[in-house]
Structure 1
Amino acid sequence: MPETAADPEIELAECVLPAGNLSETLRFFVDTLGFRLDSIMPADDPRIAQLSGYGLRLRLDTAHEGDAGVLRLGTARGVDRAALVAPNRTRIEFGPARLPIRLPPLQPSPGIQHFDDRPGAWKSGRAGMQYRDLIPDRQGGQFIASHIRIPVGGPVGDNVHYHDIRLQLIYCHRGWVRLVYEDQGDPFVMRAGDCVLQPPRIRHRVLESSDGLEVIEIGSPAEHMTHLDHTMQLPTGRRLPARDYDGQRFVFHQAEKARWSHLPDSGWALRDLGLAAATGGLVDARVLRREPASESADVPALQDRMFAFGFVLRGSMSLRVDRLPATRLTAGDAFVVPSGMQPQFDDCSDDGELLQVALPAWQPAMP
């Protein structure tokens, strides 16, 4: 057990305080006391925030309500040590200086989330964004999908930040948003139909948006830490499209430049978002749309995947999963189909358009 500050295993020390109402407590420490926000988790409904200032590091944690105070010592290798209690009742806890990415055991289950715009359906999240949960059970914690919107556009109060995550992609559903990414050139505008793959730990920033911006964000694991980078300036002045970020490459798919492929004997066209090669086959994503004068009203079947997610972009269709009753889906509805359950789509409207995401990527490669 450590006796002095010279313990070589300890990389950081932070004082852990009960969070209370985290948003109000955070506002007090940042706006009133002048502390700086460094990390927050999770983005859609925060429970943990790390701050620094005046030579002190703080951790506001909703899990420590009622504690007299906790001093957390982060070790370089995550050495497991028993907690200590100081004479003044301060609890000394030990843990990894950088939390590892942990994937909880997958708990596959089918799910349908219909569009809901009633009060309470949307939560206030990071940087003033509103979140709607598209996978409430999170498949045991392995996946999260969020419908995110910014009703009133303009500059976004965002900072340069990054995520400790295995996977994260963003599909622009409505409006536009201006973004900038580490080593990916100047800021650019993502418009409806565009998609970005955010590799793990890539620094980025949301700069501004249109009124009524809506994006679909899919990530794994469901809960992950978001870190603010107070030193990096974006853009970096470099554009390195082949750069490797923890085994993945950055992707910016632009709908206006994309090629649609006809799916034979289906009456449907497919737009591949180009994620399989950039992730080494971890994930794939595509958009399906009805072709003009098509006689077929059936959506091409999803191949059996460990995780398959869909979001209705336009129109309507019926979904049946195994022996469950058929459900009518309309624009804004989302669904999850786990491995071993074969979905069937039919009776799609003429304007039908569907976003599909699957892990692992479809094999063989989509046309």
Structure 2
Amino acid sequence: MTETNHIRAEVCLPTTDLTADIGFFTKTLKMRMDTIYPADDPSVAVFSGHGLRVRLDQTSQASAGHIRILTDAPWTDARLTSPGGTRVDIAPLDPPLHMPPTDHSFVVRRLADQAPWVIGRAGMHYRDLIPTRLGGSIIASHIRIPDGGPVPDMVHFHKVGFQLIYCYRGWVDVVYEDQGGPIRLHAGDCFIQPPEIRHRVLEASDGIEVIEIGVPAEHVTEIDHDMTLPTPHHRPDREWQGQRFVHNVGKDALWHPFRLTGFIARDTTINDATKSVAGVQVIRRGQGTPEWTRHDADIHFTFVMEGAMTLEGEGKDPHRLEPGDAFVIPPGLRTRYADPTEDLELLEVSLPGAFKTLT
């Protein structure tokens, strides 16, 4: 490593209570938090201050800390030990986003199963909708903030391949880089947050609930201490890694026949804005009798927002699904949305956005 290389070093420390230590490092030691992940149940946080950078890791099994050097020099991903026994890890300064292959499986997640709500980033409550994470390829979270009002958030961004925020109940105010002033997301509306777009959650109604999709499941949230939002320019056509910001308003949407017989849908324009990285549609009961179909999408996730239906899968037990339930259909599995109620409403997320459906 030469002096021309960009180098950053961290002291890595194990912790048994990350939540408590966040308060200690920020309030008692007056250090600033730079990074935290994963958002739904944080286990790693990085702080800086007093000429020091500290990485706390709740998953670490080490009995003592070690030094971690981040560099863009060719010499990376090494573990060294000094003559006196000090461990030194060498890692990439800005490693590429790791997109694990999808571990395809048929998943049904019931609200009635009483899965625990976990307190995550900024005090929000998270419920995991895909416990297997399909091998780490996706995380789907049902998020709620029980008490409305200002949200203790900071300007931040996510190192992610795709991210959706769909407002299920209530409303939330968010401000985004180059997208003007605060935007209120009402029930039925959604955002996509392109990779690394800076944003900040400002305020939420009582009982706000959102569905958040992140690809891959493990991704880093970094705080931007230098940017002030809103930014001075409104640039709706700007792209971040090939994706445009989307604010889709549900009440203005047009409904069209869906690819599945017996249903109608409204397109959120996310397929076009991401160049088919992902597609998001809201589905309702239409005319006709539901049929057996199969698809070839890599990831096909659905959340039941209203009404009820029976999910039938070839060789699987049928599942009567109600609001708050979610499911994943792997490619090639024949399924049918049977006995849908008239008020049925589904949120469907697929990767890629364009895929084939066969009867």
Same fold (TM over 0.5): yes
**Which residue in 2 is equivalent to 1:330?**
322
**Which residue in 2 is equivalent to 1:12?**
8
Shift of 1:10: 4.8
The answer to whether the 8 Å contact 1:297/1:349 transfers is no
**Which residue in 2 is equivalent to 1:343?**
335
**Which residue in 2 is equivalent to 1:57?**
53
Counterpart of 1:55, as a letter, is G
**Which residue in 2 is equivalent to 1:224?**
219
**Which residue in 1 is equivalent to 2:297?**
305
Q: What CA distance in whole angstroms lies between the structure 1 residues aligned with 2:240 and 2:38?
A: 21
Give aligned pairs, total.
357
Out of 38, 44, 48, which is 1:42 matched to? Answer: 38
**Which residue in 2 is equivalent to 1:362?**
354
Structure 1 position 69 matched with structure 2 position 65: yes
Out of 77, 98, 101, which is 2:97 matched to? Answer: 101
Partner SS, residue 25 of structure 2: helix
Structure 1 position 245 matched with structure 2 position 240: yes
Shift of 1:123: 0.3
In the TM superposition, 1:50-199 aligns within 5 A as: 50-77=46-73, 79-80=75-76, 82-116=78-112, 118=114, 121-199=116-194
Q: What CA distance in whole angstroms lies between the structure 1 residues aligned with 2:217 and 2:254?
A: 32
Q: What CA distance in whole angstroms lies between the structure 2 residues aligned with 1:299 and 1:238?
A: 49
Counterpart of 2:103, as a letter, is Q
Indicate how the Cα distance of structure 1 residues 42 and 268 shifts in structure 2: closer, same or farther if over 3 A, else same: same
List, as ranges, runs of 4+ consecutive aligned residues in structure 1 with deviation greater than 6 Å.
Answer: none
Q: What CA distance in whole angstroms lies between the structure 2 residues aligned with 1:106 and 1:59?
A: 30
Q: What CA distance in whole angstroms lies between the structure 2 residues aligned with 1:264 and 1:325?
A: 24
Q: What CA distance in whole angstroms lies between the structure 1 residues aligned with 2:244 and 2:94?
A: 23
Q: What CA distance in whole angstroms lies between the structure 2 residues aligned with 1:165 and 1:300?
A: 34
Shift of 1:230: 0.5
Counterpart of 2:230, as a letter, is P
Partner SS, residue 31 of structure 1: helix
Q: What CA distance in whole angstroms lies between the structure 2 residues aligned with 1:41 and 1:265?
A: 38
Q: What CA distance in whole angstroms lies between the structure 1 residues aligned with 2:254 and 2:303?
A: 21
Q: What CA distance in whole angstroms lies between the structure 2 residues aligned with 1:232 and 1:265?
A: 45
Partner SS, residue 99 of structure 2: coil
Counterpart of 1:26, as a letter, is I
The answer to whether the 8 Å contact 2:102/2:298 transfers is no
**Which residue in 2 is equivalent to 1:321?**
313
**Which residue in 1 is equivalent to 2:24?**
28
Partner SS, residue 140 of structure 1: helix
Indicate how the Cα distance of structure 1 residues 72 and 191 shifts in structure 2: closer, same or farther if over 3 A, else same: same
Structure 1 position 255 matched with structure 2 position 256: no
Q: What CA distance in whole angstroms lies between the structure 2 residues aligned with 1:18 and 1:35?
A: 17
Indicate how the Cα distance of structure 1 residues 314 and 77 shifts in structure 2: closer, same or farther if over 3 A, else same: farther
**Which residue in 1 is equivalent to 2:201?**
206
CA shift digits 1:122-157 (9 cap, x unpaired) = 000000100000000000000110000001100000
Partner SS, residue 276 of structure 1: helix
Which ranges in structure 1 are unaligned for 5 or more consecutive residues? none
Q: What CA distance in whole angstroms lies between the structure 2 residues aligned with 1:265 and 1:42?
A: 35
Which ranges in structure 2 are unaligned for 5 or more consecutive residues? none
Q: What CA distance in whole angstroms lies between the structure 1 residues aligned with 2:331 and 2:257?
A: 26
Shift of 1:245: 0.2
Shift of 1:40: 0.6
Q: What CA distance in whole angstroms lies between the structure 2 residues aligned with 1:78 and 1:332?
A: 48
Q: What CA distance in whole angstroms lies between the structure 1 residues aligned with 2:243 and 2:21?
A: 37
Shift of 1:264: 9.0
Q: What CA distance in whole angstroms lies between the structure 2 residues aligned with 1:265 and 1:113?
A: 22
CA shift digits 1:286-313 (9 cap, x unpaired) = 011124xx5x463895633111000011
Counterpart of 1:188, as a letter, is I
Counterpart of 2:290, as a letter, is D
CA shift digits 1:13-51 (9 cap, x unpaired) = 111111221111222111111111000111111111110
